[in-house]
Amino acid sequence: MTNPGRLVGIVALAASAMGCYTLQPIRGVEPKVGSSVAFDVNDAGRVALGGTMGPEIAQVEGQLVEKDNEGFLLAVSTVRLLRGGEQSWTGEKVRLNPTHLGTAYAREFSLGRTLAMSALSIGAVGAVILTRSLVGSGNDDDGGGGPPVDARLGRP
Give tens-digit pLDDT for 60-76: 999 999 999 889 999 99
- Residue-level pLDDT at 98: 94
The pLDDT tens digits for 92-147 are: 999 999 999 999 999 776 556 556 665 666 666 666 666 766 555 555 555 555 66
pTM given for the model: 0.60
Residue 10 pLDDT exceeds 80: no
Residue 85 pLDDT exceeds 70: yes
Contacts 24+ apart (CB under 8 A), 130-135: 134/1, 134/4, 135/4
CATH number of the domain at 21-109, please?
Answer: 2.30.30
Mean model confidence pLDDT for the chain: 78
Determine contact, residues 122/8, Cβ cutoff 8 Å.
yes
